[in-house]
Structure 1
C-alpha cells in the first residue's frame, strides 16, 4: 500500500512538539459534528456536500500540528481533486485530505490552519462522490494520530454516538431528483402495516407446512408423555429433552413403538423421495403424538414443528389435534453472514443457528475473508490472523491492516477478531446438531487485500532469513504497476493468478479447512467468492504479461480470472470437493457463464445476487442454471439483509441495490417466477417486466433446467454491522420471511395479478399475526434482539388509530420529549393537533423501537422531479380578469384556471405554483401568514415577497387527467391591460429543479384571456378610456399624417437646416483630413463613408474638422461645447466644432443625411442642444438586460448624452460595472454615470 505509507510518512516529516497527552486531549474533547447535503438542484449530480464542525469542548487549545484525523467514507472524498498520493489541500480551510486505501481517508491541518481555542470551533466543507442519505453512510470511530504516538479514537464519534446531524430536508434524504423514496411518515407506516390484529397467531407453524389440518378443537397435554424414538431420531429426541424436559427411550422396533402411547418418533426412508419429508400426527383420543421422517434431518424438522405447536398452545405444554404432511420446497435454505467486514463472534453465530434450526434453515454460509479482514486461523500460515484479522493504525501494516469501516485506531472494535480452529470446530459441531451445513467462503481472487497484506508481512519477515518461506505463499507480482480501484476503493486487493505461489496458498488454505471439518461435519464444497475483480487489475503485471505471451487466450483480466477459476476448480476436485462462487466469479466477459464442462467438479454452485433490473443483470440466475450450474437465489433486491428496512436516514444499512427491504417485501419474493419480481428501479420509479426484459422477453431468457434452482439464501453483509445488536436487528425478522419462502410455496405464487396480490396480502396478514403474537416471543427467549419497527399512526374521523409492523406490540406516546411515556388509549379522540413522540414496545417495555415524531395533520407528500416536470408540461394555466367594477375602484376579481391535459392525476403534495402579480391578492384579508384558502380549487394562495405569490394544494386538492378547475381571486385596484400579467409561472418543490409552466412562457402572454367586456377594460365606473376601435385607430393615424409637410431629415431637429435639393456623392476618391484631437471621431466618419484618412488636405473632395472655440449657435453657455456646424459643398465638407462631442453629434447628423447611394445634400446644418442633460433610463434590476442590449440602446440614443442604468431594484447585491473597450479600469454603474453615445464600452455583472 505505497500510497498510504507515503501519506503518513509525509506527516512524519513535520517535526513538532505534539505529545501523547495532546492526542489524548483531542480524542476526549474534540466534538465532531457532520452534516450531509446532496444539493439536488445542481447540475452536477455526482457529489454530496459535507459540513464538518470541529469544536474544542475542553479547556486547552488544540494547536495546528502534525496530527491528522482518520475517518471512513463509503464514497470518494473530493472526487476529481484527491487523485495524487500527495493529497489535496482544500482551499479556504487549510486542511489536506489524503486517501489511504479503501474507505480510509485522513484530514490534516496545514501550516496555515488556525488553532482551535477552548470552546472554539472550526468549520470545513468538502465533497464526497455520489450521495449520502443515511447516518450509516458516515461510519463511526474517527481517530486522531501523529507520528510515533499511540492513536486515539475520538470519543464523540464512537459507535452509537449521533455525531451525524439529522437528515431533515429533502436534499438530505434523496439521492437524485427522480428518487421516489422519502422517510415513512407515521401515516405511511399505518397504511403499510394495515393488517387486522387477530390478537393471536394464525399459522400453527412457521414456515407453513405443505399440508396441515386441524382435526379437532382439542389439545393434548404432552408434559407427562413418554417419548420413544428409534436410534435414527436420537438427535431430535435430544432436542425434545432440551426444550421440553422430556426424557426418552430408544427402541428400534417401529412396530412396537406404534403400539405405545405418548410421543413416538421414528424414521421411514420409504416415506418419499424428499429427504426433508416428515409427517406429524396428533390424536387427542389416543393421547399420541407421532413424528415420522424420511431421514434424520426430516425427523428433526418434524420435532421443530412439534415445538412450534407447543409454543403456540394456551399453556405452552400442549398441542392441538393436527395432521401435518410436510416437506421442504428447496434443498438449500441458507443464510450468509459476512464476518470479515465486522467480525461476528462465535456466540452471534450460535444464536443465529439456533433460530435457523427453529425455522428449518439448513445452510450457514460464512464469508470468512475479504479486503477488510481474514477471520479463520489457518495452521501453517499464522500471519493470516496475526496480521489479517486485526485492524488498527499501522501505516506499514506489519502489525495489523489499516483501519476500515469505522473500526477506529485500535483493536477494540468489531474490526478485529478471528475464529481459532477450536472455535470453528465448535461452530461446526453446533451446526451439525441442528442439521445445518456450514459453507466456508474464502473470497478470491478479488476482495483479497487481507490475504495479500498478510502474505506481504510474511514476505518481509522472512525476506532476509528464508527466501523460500518468504515467497512460499506470496500472492502478488512485486513488479506489477497496474493502476485500478475496486468498488470499495482498494487499489491493491487482487491476487495474481499468474504465479504458482498463489495456487500453493489456495491449496494450503482449502486443505486446512477440509481438515477442520474432519470428525465434525462433512465438507461438501468450497466457496471461492470470485466476485467483483477490478477491471484493470493485472494489466501491468510482468508475470501475467509473460504468462499471456505463452497462453494468448488469457489476454484480459476477465480471461485471467477464468484461468484462476479453472485452477481452483482443479484443486477442489483433487481434494474431493465441489466448488461454489458468486455469480460473477463464474461469468466470462459479456456475462456469459463459463462452459460448465471445463470445470471438473461434479457440481458447481453459483449464488445469483446482482438483479438490479434496469442494469440488465437479472437474467444471470437463469443463464447459470441453463448452463448446468446449481443456482442459489441470493438476490440483492429482496434477500440482502444489509439493506435498510425503511427508506429512512435513521435506518442502518447500505442501499446500493434497493432503498429498502422489509420483512413484507422479502415475504412477497417469487422464487419460481423470477421476472415477476420486477416492479421498480433502484430509484423507486415503476418498472414493468416488458420495460426490463423487452417486449418479446428477449433480455430475460426462460428457465429451462428448473432442477438447477436449488434454493434461496439471505445475505448479511457486514459493513454496517458494528455490534451484535445491530446484527440481530438487521437479520431478524426478515429471516423469517426468507425461511417461509424457502420452505413453503404458497398457492398465491402461481396466481396472476390482481388476484395474486390480494391473496398474498391475506397470507401476509396471517404470517404477520403469527410472528407478532408468537414467534417474537420465541426469538426473545433465544436472546435475539430482533428489530422493533416504529409504529404507524393516523387520525381517522378525529380518533387516533395506531398499529405495528407485526401485531402484538404496544404503542406509547410522550408529550414531554421522551421523559415520560404512556400507552396510547384504545379510543382516543385527538383534539390537540400538536405533534408528539410515539414508539412501539414489547409489552413488558424491556425494548422499544426508535422514537418518531407524529404529526396529526399528515405532512404533504413529497414531490420528485418527474412530478414537477409533468406539471410544467401538462398543466395549462389561464388567467382572466372578471371585473374591475366589484367595489368602485378599490379591487377587481380574476379567475385562475388549471387544466390537466396529460395522462396522470394530480393530487395533494408539497409542489407549489409560483407567479407574479403587480397587484396585492386578497388585500382585505392581508396579511395571511398561513395562506388564504381558495375553496373553489382547494388551493391556498400565499404572498412570498414583492410581486411573487404562490398557489399551494390542500389535502383535498384533485386535478385528474383531462379535467380542469378554477378559482377566483380578489386583487387590489384594477387590471385593464394584458401586460399587467407576468409570464413564466413556474412549479417548484423542495430540493427539485423548478420548471416553468410552458403554457405561460413567452412575452406574448397567450395564457391571459382577452379584455372584451367593459368591466374588464375600464378601471372604475368613471374611467373614460376604452380600447380603440379600428375606426378610431384609423382616424388617429390619419390625423398624424399632414399632407404636404416636408420630411425631417434629421431627428432631433437642428437649430438651422439650410439644406438644398442638390447633393454630392461621396465616393472612394474623397478623404477625411486627420487631426490628432479627433482620432476616434474621424475613424467613425471614415467608416461611415468608406473613405480613407489623409495626413494632408487635398485640393478638393475632402472632409475637414475645424476647431473654433468662439463658435455659437444658441445663446446657451451650458451646451455651447456641444455645438456643431456642417457645411456641405460639392468639393468639400467642413465640420466646425468646439469639442470632440460636437464632432460626434455631427457624425450622427451625417448618418441621418446619407442616402443609400452615399449622397449628401448640399447646404448647412447648425445645431446646439437645448438642454445640457438629455438622458435615457434603463432598469436592469427588475429584468436584466445584457451588455449587447445596452450597447444597442447607446447606439440608438443618437444625441442623448446620459444613460441611467438602474441596477439594484429588488436585487440587492447586484453590481454592474463598465469600462471603455480595451481598458481595464472598471467602474461601477451608478445613477450618476454618464456614457456618451458612440463610446465603445464593456459591461459586467457582479453578484
Structure 2
C-alpha cells in the first residue's frame, strides 16, 4: 500500500510539474490550468473575423499545421477572437473544444499569438495542449531594443529579422540609431551629400581599442533610402512595433560635418571617423545649423510616425564651443551659465521645433545638462540617476543603464567570447534588473516608461554576431519589460531559455551558449580565496585541472570550491556522457598577501564597471588590458582610495597595482599615487608617493619598493586625472580611472 501511495504521489507531482512549467518567454502574468486538453488537429479552422495581417503571421510561424477559414456552421477546432479590454491586454483560453482570444485591439491579439505559437512549439510532439486560461498584459509601455547601424551597417532584410526577434518576445519599440561620427545612414533628399559623403569612411578600426590598428579598407557608402525606411517602418507596424529614429546632435556629428563643414565651429575639413570614441568637432549652435537640423527632422518625421524622436544629446565635448566666438557670444546674449547651459539651449530649441510638429523628443541622460527641456523624455544610460532625476521632475524616462542593458558587453568569460566593447553583463544580471529605482515613490514611478537594451556595433562586424550578442539576453529583457521576472527563480527561467534555444536553432540563429559554460566566482576563505565553479547543467559534469593542461572527461570532478593558496591556473569545462559540451574556461591567479583580505573603498566605482565591487581589487586576478570585462573597476572623475585589513600585523616590502590608458575611451593614467600604513585603521602614515611621470613610464603596471613594513592596514590612494585636457577625446569631461589588483609582497 505504501509503495502504491508513493507511486501515486510521484505521478501527481510529475503531472503538476508538467502542467505548471510552460516554456513561455516572457512568462504570463497569470496562468490557470483547467481540466481537459486541446487535441491539435492537422487542419486548423480560423474564425472568419480574425485580423488578416496577424493571422498570416500565425500561419507563417506555425507552418507545420494547415490553416483554413471556418464556415458559419463549423464550430470545433477554431481560434476565436473577441474585441474586448485594454490595448495590450489579452485573455487566452484553451479548452477541449477550441481556443479563444479576448483582447482590446489587434495589438493584444498579436501578443496573444506569440504566446500561442510558443504553446504550439512546446506541445506539438505530444499533439495536445493542456486546457488553461492565461490572463496577461505588460507592466511597462516601452519595451525596447536599440540597433546601431552607423559603426557597422546591416541590410534591410537583416533589420527586418531583428524586428522579428522583438515581435517574437513581445518587445514593442525598435530604436534605430541612424547617424553618428562613423556614418550617416538615412537618405535626406534636401541634403544629398549626407549620404554621398557622410555614409562612407576611408577605413575602420579593428581589434581591441588599445591595439590602435585599422583594416585599410574603404567602408561604404552604406545607407537606407527613404523607400527602404518606409518599408521597414511598415514591416514593424505590421508587428505592432514602433520605430524610434535617432538623429544625433549636437555631438557625434563628424559624418554630417564631413558633408557640410559649414555647420561646425571651425572650417575643417572633416571626414567620417575611422576610430571609435568621442570627438571634439560637433554641431555649432548657429542659425544655419538649426535650419539644417530642422529640415532634416522634417524629412525624418515624415518617414517615422513615432510619438518620440530621439535626438541623442550624449557625449558632446565643449572644446570647440569654448574656443568659438559665436558660441561665447551666444552664452552672453542668452545669459547662460557656461557651455553646459549652451547644450541645454541647443536641446530646448530643437525640442520647441519638434513639439511644433506634434512630436516629442527623447535623448540620452546628458540632455539633463544645464536644465531639461520642458517636454523631453530621458533615456538613462550612464546609470539610473538620469532616470531618477527625470522622474522626480515629472519627466518620462526609459531605463537603459549600461551595467544591465548594454548588450555589446561580454556575456561570458571574455577569453572564450568574440571581441566586445568591454564590461560584463551576463544573462543572470540582465534578468535581475528592476527598472523602477528604489529611490522613487509610487507617484514618481509612474514616469518610468519602461526598459530598453542597446546594441552598439563597434565590435560587431556582421549579423551573425548581432544574433550572438542579443540572444539569450533578449529573453531576460523581455521578461523584465513584461514585469514577470523574478531573480529568486533565475534557475527556472534558465530552463525556459534552454528550451527556447531549440526554436532559435531551427531558425538558424547564432545564439550565444555561454550559460552552458562553467562559471567561476572568487570567494574569500580563511587563508585567502577559493574558486567556486557552477553551470546551468548538472554540476557533476564539471571537470577541472590545476596543472595548465586542458581538462578532459577523466579530469578531476568538481565538488567543492577550489582553494587558491598560491599563484596558479584553473581550467574547467562541462562534460556530458564523456563529451565536451562547453568552452574551456581558464583563470589565472596571481596571489599576494592582500589576496582575499577585507578591502573597503571610500568612493564606489561607476555602476557600469563595478562587477564584484571592492573585492575585485583583492581577488588574485590581474585584469587583461584588452578586456574591460569583469576584472577592472572603473571610476569616472573619482579617486580610488582603498583600505585593506590584513587581519594581523603583516610584513611586506613591495606594493603593486595596475591602471589602464585608453584615451579614445576617456581612460587616462592616474595623476599620482600614495601608500599609507596603519596599525589601528584610523591613524595612517604615508610611506610612498609617486607622480604621473612614474606611472606613465611604468605603462600602468606599478610596482613600488616601500621598504620593510609591518602593519595591520594598508591604504592606497590613486588620484584620478581629473578633467580631460583639450586636444583629447572627451575634452572638458571627467576622466575615467580603471584599476585592478592591489597586491603586497
Looking at structure 1, the residues matched to 78 and 549 of structure 2 have their Cα atoms a distance apart, in angstroms, of 51
1:629 pairs with 2:411: no
For 1:986, the equivalent position in structure 2 comes to 652
For 2:491, the equivalent position in structure 1 comes to 765
**SS of residue paired to 2:260:** helix
Looking at structure 2, the residues matched to 995 and 475 of structure 1 have their Cα atoms a distance apart, in angstroms, of 50
**SS of residue paired to 2:43:** coil
1:371 pairs with 2:37: no
* Residue pair 1:280, 1:289 contacting (<8 A) in 2 also: yes
CA deviation vs aligned residue, 1:370-412 (integer Å, no higher than 9, x gap): 1121111222322112221211159xxxxxxxxx986622225
* Residue pair 2:544, 2:556 contacting (<8 A) in 1 also: no
Shift of 1:222: 4.1
For 1:653, the equivalent position in structure 2 comes to 420
**SS of residue paired to 1:226:** strand
For 1:780, the equivalent position in structure 2 comes to 505
For 1:291, the equivalent position in structure 2 comes to 101
- What does 1:713-862 align with in structure 2 at a 5 Å threshold? 713-746=452-485, 760-761=487-488, 763-772=489-498, 774-789=499-514, 791-792=517-518, 804-805=535-536, 850-853=583-586
Looking at structure 2, the residues matched to 824 and 515 of structure 1 have their Cα atoms a distance apart, in angstroms, of 65
Question: Out of 341, 348, 353, which is 1:559 matched to?
Answer: 341
Question: Out of 304, 310, 327, which is 1:544 matched to?
Answer: 327
For 1:663, the equivalent position in structure 2 comes to 427
Question: Out of 227, 230, 240, which is 2:49 matched to?
Answer: 230
Structure exhibiting the larger radius of gyration computed from Cα positions: 1
Looking at structure 2, the residues matched to 347 and 842 of structure 1 have their Cα atoms a distance apart, in angstroms, of 38
1:525 pairs with 2:343: no
User: Structure with the greater relative contact order (CA < 8 A, sep ≥ 6): 1 or 2?
Assistant: 2
**SS of residue paired to 1:527:** strand
Shift of 1:853: 4.1
Looking at structure 1, the residues matched to 540 and 559 of structure 2 have their Cα atoms a distance apart, in angstroms, of 21
1:435 pairs with 2:240: yes
**SS of residue paired to 1:716:** coil
1:593 pairs with 2:593: no
Looking at structure 2, the residues matched to 511 and 230 of structure 1 have their Cα atoms a distance apart, in angstroms, of 38
Question: Out of 280, 285, 291, which is 1:497 matched to?
Answer: 285
Question: Out of 297, 306, 309, which is 1:510 matched to?
Answer: 297
Question: Out of 332, 356, 362, which is 1:574 matched to?
Answer: 356
Indicate how the Cα distance of structure 1 residues 552 and 201 shifts in structure 2: closer, same or farther if over 3 A, else same: same
Looking at structure 2, the residues matched to 494 and 744 of structure 1 have their Cα atoms a distance apart, in angstroms, of 39
Looking at structure 2, the residues matched to 513 and 619 of structure 1 have their Cα atoms a distance apart, in angstroms, of 30
CA deviation vs aligned residue, 1:97-144 (integer Å, no higher than 9, x gap): xxxxxxxxxxxxxxxxxxxxxxxxxxxxxxxxxxxxxxxxxxxxxxxx
1:385 pairs with 2:195: yes
1:708 pairs with 2:447: yes
Indicate how the Cα distance of structure 1 residues 607 and 842 shifts in structure 2: closer, same or farther if over 3 A, else same: farther
Structure 1: runs of 5+ lacking an equivalent = 1-197, 395-403, 457-473, 612-617, 676-699, 749-759, 795-800, 871-903, 912-960, 965-982, 1001-1182, 1185-1247
* Residue pair 2:151, 2:182 contacting (<8 A) in 1 also: yes
Looking at structure 1, the residues matched to 298 and 453 of structure 2 have their Cα atoms a distance apart, in angstroms, of 28
Shift of 1:720: 2.0
Shift of 1:422: 3.3
1:452 pairs with 2:257: yes
* Residue pair 1:228, 1:249 contacting (<8 A) in 2 also: no
For 1:330, the equivalent position in structure 2 comes to 140
* Residue pair 2:153, 2:222 contacting (<8 A) in 1 also: yes
Shift of 1:249: 5.6
Indicate how the Cα distance of structure 1 residues 347 and 986 shifts in structure 2: closer, same or farther if over 3 A, else same: same
Shift of 1:313: 1.9
- What does 1:257-336 align with in structure 2 at a 5 Å threshold? 260-269=75-84, 271=85, 273=86, 275-284=87-96, 286=97, 288-313=98-123, 315=125, 318-336=128-146
Looking at structure 2, the residues matched to 730 and 711 of structure 1 have their Cα atoms a distance apart, in angstroms, of 21
Shift of 1:739: 0.6
Looking at structure 2, the residues matched to 643 and 568 of structure 1 have their Cα atoms a distance apart, in angstroms, of 32
1:608 pairs with 2:388: no
Shift of 1:728: 2.0
Shift of 1:829: 11
**SS of residue paired to 2:42:** coil
Shift of 1:223: 3.1
Shift of 1:786: 1.4
Indicate how the Cα distance of structure 1 residues 262 and 988 shifts in structure 2: closer, same or farther if over 3 A, else same: farther
Looking at structure 2, the residues matched to 985 and 537 of structure 1 have their Cα atoms a distance apart, in angstroms, of 52
* Residue pair 1:809, 1:842 contacting (<8 A) in 2 also: no
Indicate how the Cα distance of structure 1 residues 445 and 836 shifts in structure 2: closer, same or farther if over 3 A, else same: closer
Shift of 1:509: 1.6
For 2:224, the equivalent position in structure 1 comes to 419
1:244 pairs with 2:62: yes
Shift of 1:817: 11
**SS of residue paired to 2:362:** strand
Shift of 1:262: 1.5
CA deviation vs aligned residue, 1:861-905 (integer Å, no higher than 9, x gap): 7886893879xxxxxxxxxxxxxxxxxxxxxxxxxxxxxxxxx99
Question: Out of 407, 415, 421, which is 1:641 matched to?
Answer: 407
Shift of 1:571: 2.4
What TM-score do the two structures reach when normalised by structure 2? Answer: 0.68
CA deviation vs aligned residue, 1:63-119 (integer Å, no higher than 9, x gap): xxxxxxxxxxxxxxxxxxxxxxxxxxxxxxxxxxxxxxxxxxxxxxxxxxxxxxxxx
Looking at structure 1, the residues matched to 139 and 329 of structure 2 have their Cα atoms a distance apart, in angstroms, of 50
Question: Out of 40, 44, 57, which is 1:221 matched to?
Answer: 40
**SS of residue paired to 1:443:** strand
1:410 pairs with 2:136: no
**SS of residue paired to 2:366:** helix
Looking at structure 2, the residues matched to 200 and 780 of structure 1 have their Cα atoms a distance apart, in angstroms, of 25
For 2:696, the equivalent position in structure 1 comes to none
Shift of 1:210: 0.6
What TM-score do the two structures reach when normalised by structure 1? Answer: 0.42
For 1:43, the equivalent position in structure 2 comes to none
Looking at structure 1, the residues matched to 83 and 173 of structure 2 have their Cα atoms a distance apart, in angstroms, of 24
Shift of 1:431: 1.3
Looking at structure 2, the residues matched to 428 and 779 of structure 1 have their Cα atoms a distance apart, in angstroms, of 24
Looking at structure 1, the residues matched to 154 and 212 of structure 2 have their Cα atoms a distance apart, in angstroms, of 14
**SS of residue paired to 2:44:** coil
For 1:400, the equivalent position in structure 2 comes to none
Shift of 1:206: 0.9
**SS of residue paired to 2:199:** coil
Indicate how the Cα distance of structure 1 residues 298 and 984 shifts in structure 2: closer, same or farther if over 3 A, else same: closer
Question: Out of 261, 264, 268, which is 1:476 matched to?
Answer: 264
Looking at structure 2, the residues matched to 556 and 828 of structure 1 have their Cα atoms a distance apart, in angstroms, of 60
For 2:638, the equivalent position in structure 1 comes to none
For 2:11, the equivalent position in structure 1 comes to none
Shift of 1:309: 1.0
* Residue pair 1:593, 1:627 contacting (<8 A) in 2 also: no
Indicate how the Cα distance of structure 1 residues 810 and 219 shifts in structure 2: closer, same or farther if over 3 A, else same: farther
* Residue pair 1:480, 1:541 contacting (<8 A) in 2 also: no
**SS of residue paired to 1:539:** helix
Looking at structure 1, the residues matched to 91 and 620 of structure 2 have their Cα atoms a distance apart, in angstroms, of 57
* Residue pair 1:793, 1:854 contacting (<8 A) in 2 also: no
Shift of 1:714: 0.5
